[in-house]
Amino acid sequence: MQLTRKDSPYSHWELLDSDNGNRLRVVPERGGLITEWLCNGIEVLYFDLARFKQHNKSVRGGIPILFPICGDLPNNLLKLPQGEFHIKQHGFARDLPWNINYLQDSSGFNLSLFTEDFPRFKFPFSCQVDMEVHLGLDFIDFKINIKNVDIMPIPFSFGLHPYFKVSDLREVKILGLPSQCIDQIDMQSVAT
């Protein structure tokens, strides 16, 4: 597999396994966003290219990275002893440029977001987020490491928000979900 910089149809890095019809496209400058996953020649992800080109709007599609929060906070405020910090829905990691490095074993790449990249007025902690992404024959494997380099505990959540390309909802099956979950609107336990 090779990791190559491409300019078309938009500026991105491409991880290509041409022998198996597999490809990942990632845009580190736009929050480490994976914009395409071609698996056995079939596009797995939905991606709205027109919206992606509008830099003032959030992206619809691909696999955005959610950090330091998944979902939203009441009034978008994180209340801490250090003060109140405005954090919009899903956090700010998807809006920051990430660093990308090709993995030595050539099966993927590493995305990193370092302490100095964090907007300290929004999140007063020091940490580093590393995400290894490996492209397999029929899967993507993610290994996430969040390192606290601060002396205080860091409140956070981390998530990936894949937009799967679905043409017929009647054909969709979701397996392995727990029977109960928490409704994010009223924080009550409900049947999944």
**Predicted confidence band of residue 21 (pLDDT cuts 50, 70, 90):** confident
For the segment 176-186, what is each residue's pLDDT rounded down to a tens digit?
A: 889 998 887 78
DSSP 155: -
Give me the phi and psi of 130, to 5 degrees please. -120, 135
Per-residue pLDDT, 130: 97
Lowest mean pLDDT among 18-27, 32-41, 170-179: 170-179
Euclidean distance between CA atoms 121 and 80, whole angstroms = 13
Euclidean distance between CA atoms 131 and 124, whole angstroms = 22
Tokens coding 17:
């396994």
Per-residue pLDDT, 68: 92
Per-residue pLDDT, 109: 96
Is 47 in contact with 33 (CB distance < 8 Å)? no
- State pTM to two decimals: 0.87
Average pLDDT over residues 28-55: 95
For the segment 63-86, what is each residue's pLDDT rounded down to a tens digit?
A: 999 999 998 888 999 888 888 989
